[in-house]
Amino acid sequence: MIVEQIWTGNAYRNFNYLIVCPDTGEAMAIDPLDHEKCLTVAKNGGWDITQVLNTHEHGDHTGGNGPVIAATGATLLAHAGAKDAIANIDRGLSAGDIIKVGKSVELECLDTPGHTMSHICILSHTDQPALISGDTMFNAGAGNCHNGGHPEELYDTFAEQLSKLPDDTLIYPGHDYIAGNLGFTLDREPDNQRAKALLSEVENQDPDKAMVTTLGLEKEINTFFRLHNPSVIAALREVFPDMADEPEPKEVFLKLRMLRNDW
């Protein structure tokens, strides 16, 4: 499996993706907002885009569907529940569905509500798994919930699905937000050495060659996986003095999400 991360260079800092079967050259374009760039990368690689997949219904993820499908005749895949929000879905996806790309690539659909209520993440069935996480999870962060989402569902997605994936899972998010998110982590946990070191590494990185994290690394530097951390809890208590002595992880997550909205 080839994962091609495509940096759009737009104001929203979107990443688009091509997932390619190296045996047949068939490719799936994920959230191909920068359709010209996606088509060019496919052409240069000698790959045929046969499927387009949207992680969710927001315009910065679906905006390139039309031109990519017009140019390639690809079929469109998205969450089955997004049928009224995304035009012309050919295949509605549910949790556990398997998506094949070419001969050798097998991807699994995870139903991951929270950022929106019809958001999917894509997990590869490869020796080292890869997760295309859309706007559910970012490097060092979590998606917001203000355009059709719910923080409680997002917590459930993190607790019941994402945190249970193998630690070596590669994380491919829908946006390049790593530097800002590490700033938020360090604001809660100024003593987080791993986050500090990583921030100096990625602060001036070329997004065309962006660092790819693993879930294991995320658990060290992403506040939304660090719900039992004493520094995180102590810093939250300064803002929310009424917080329980030993808060439930869900309470910590929801307060972090709330705080991040205005940070």
Q: How far is the CB of 147 from Zn ion (least distance, A)?
A: 7
Please choose, out of 51-59, 68-76, 83-91, 225-233, the segment that lies near Zn ion by the rule CB under 5 A.
51-59
- What character string, x for contact with Zn ion (CB under 5 A) and - otherwise, covers 124-143? -----------x--------
DSSP assignment letter at 23: T
Helices and strands counted in the chain (H then E): 9, 14
Sheet harboring 98-101: ordered strands across? 98-101, 105-111, 120-124, 130-134, 170-173, 213-214
Position 176 contacts Zn ion (CB under 5 A): no
* CA–CA separation, 250 and 234 (whole Å): 16
Q: Bin 140: left if φ > 0, else alpha if -120 < ψ < 50, else beta.
A: left
Q: What one-letter code names the amino acid at 22?
A: P
Q: How far is the CB of 12 from Zn ion (least distance, A)?
A: 6
Q: How far is the CB of 174 from Zn ion (least distance, A)?
A: 5
Q: How far is the CB of 163 from Zn ion (least distance, A)?
A: 21
Give the interface size with Zn ion as a residue count (CB under 5 A).
4
Nearest C-alpha neighbor of 152 from the set 262, 263, 79, 255: 255
Q: How far is the CB of 20 from Zn ion (least distance, A)?
A: 23
Please choose, out of 20-28, 149-157, 169-177, 255-263, the segment that lies near Zn ion by the rule CB under 5 A.
169-177
Nearer to Zn ion, 111 or 135 (CB): 135
Nearest C-alpha neighbor of 146 from the set 179, 114, 177, 173: 114
Nearer to Zn ion, 88 or 147 (CB): 147
Nearer to Zn ion, 33 or 107 (CB): 33
Nearer to Zn ion, 58 or 255 (CB): 58
Nearest C-alpha neighbor of 82 from the set 54, 105, 109, 61: 54
Q: How far is the CB of 135 from Zn ion (least distance, A)?
A: 4
Please choose, out of 58-66, 163-171, 186-194, 221-229, the segment that lies near Zn ion by the rule CB under 5 A.
58-66
Torsion angle in degrees (nearest 10) through CA of 164, 166, 170, 173: 0
Please choose, out of 43-51, 79-87, 174-182, 217-225, the segment that lies near Zn ion by the rule CB under 5 A.
174-182
Task: Please name the helix (run of DSSP H) or strand (run of DSSP E) that holds residue 156, with its range, or none.
Answer: helix 151-160
Position 60 contacts Zn ion (CB under 5 A): yes
Please choose, out of 90-98, 156-164, 172-180, 242-250, the segment that lies near Zn ion by the rule CB under 5 A.
172-180
Q: How far is the CB of 58 from Zn ion (least distance, A)?
A: 4
**Residue 241: Cβ-neighbour burial (10 angstroms; 0-12, 13-18, 19+):** exposed
* CA–CA separation, 61 and 59 (whole Å): 5
Q: How far is CA 78 from CA 72, 99, 213, 248, in A?
A: 18, 11, 25, 34
Position 58 contacts Zn ion (CB under 5 A): yes
Q: What is the binding site for Zn ion (CB under 5 A)?
A: 58, 60, 135, 174
